[in-house]
Amino acid sequence: MRTLRLIREARIHSLLPAGTPHRLEASGVVAADGRYRVIFDNLRAVAVIDTDLDRPAANTLVPTEPGRASGYEDIARDPITGHLFLLIEAEKRDNGLQARVEEYDEALQFVSAGWLEYPLTHANKGMEGLEIVRRNDGVYLLGLHESGGLLVFRRGRQNWKHVATAELPVRLADYSAVSTAGTRIALVSQESSAMWVGAFATDTWQAAGPGDTYLFPRGRGGELLYRTAEGVCWLGPERVVVVSDRGKPGGEAKEEMLHVFAL
């Protein structure tokens, strides 16, 4: 296994205006047009942060539409329209649980909301990662289940229909994020403090080859410094941005931060 190389990192609270809530449990990130959009599982809001991580005055925290969920698990961006898709891990629907997705335009104005039509067994063991894929036959969402399933959803009139389950050659513990770029896919595992990178074909929803597993940097004693990694987005062929959730009291120092790594 290889180890990711840290390029830069910053605490998210230090990048946002005065008055921003101190607790920022980051859970997803996308990058576009020189800015990061970051979501949190304890806030109904999107942080807009310059990618240089040096100009807090240009950054902001934009509230989203009121809703039942307290926050979001991941975020995906349509490269064609610029629309953002915000994932809610699980909500009650009829007599069961399903994940829900809210769509916002580039100005973070609400567009629509729909269900990911796949039954979930536990409210805290639902969909953790989200990515958008465009093909000639329509728009799809990849929903990453915490236990390791990468589910494929096709857009319907209002909701998203489960149409396939992707085949992957890797099985890590406690999946928390997914990101694609061209034919490459990255999956983050919290418990393993690792990221798997492989080739992924969206025409067949299958990975090609075994891929590579990268460990997040460890402490001097081997401690897992990045065990709360919750979101990932490709920045280039050999670089990713990762966001981290709140750690356990007295635990990891690397929490509620933006981190840029090189493969």
Query: What digits encode the pLDDT tens for the residues 115-139?
Result: 999 999 888 778 999 999 999 999 9
All structural domains of the chain: 2-262 (2.120.10.30)
- At residue 250 the predicted structure's pLDDT band, cuts being 50, 70 and 90, is low
Average pLDDT score over the chain = 92
Instruction: Specify the range with the lowest mean pLDDT, choosing from 39-43, 120-124, 227-231.
Output: 120-124
Question: Counting beta carbons within 10 angstroms of the beta carbon of residue 123, is it exposed (0 to 12), middle (13 to 18) or buried (19 or more)?
Answer: exposed
pLDDT at residue 56, rounded to an integer? 75
Q: How far is CA 93 from the centre of its chain?
A: 23
Where do the DSSP E strands lie in 107-256?
A: 110-120, 127-135, 138-145, 150-155, 160-165, 175-181, 184-189, 194-201, 206-215, 229-236, 239-244
Report the pLDDT averaged over residues 70-91. 96
- At residue 57 the predicted structure's pLDDT band, cuts being 50, 70 and 90, is confident
- At residue 74 the predicted structure's pLDDT band, cuts being 50, 70 and 90, is very high
Q: What is the pLDDT of residues 97-118, one digit of tens each?
A: 999 999 999 999 999 999 999 9
* Side chain identity at residue 85, one-letter code: F
Handedness of CA 118, 123, 125, 130 (dihedral sign): positive
Determine if the pTM surpasses 0.85: yes
Beta-carbon contacts of 93 under 8 Å, excluding residues fewer than 6 positions away, are 115
pLDDT at residue 148, rounded to an integer? 57
Other Cβ atoms closer than 10 A to 27: 29
Q: How far is CA 44 from the centre of its chain?
A: 15
pLDDT at residue 71, rounded to an integer? 95
pLDDT at residue 98, rounded to an integer? 95
pLDDT at residue 68, rounded to an integer? 86
- At residue 11 the predicted structure's pLDDT band, cuts being 50, 70 and 90, is very high
| % of the chain residues with pLDDT over 70 | 97
Q: What is the pLDDT of residues 145-189, one digit of tens each?
A: 876 589 999 999 899 999 999 988 877 667 889 999 999 999 999
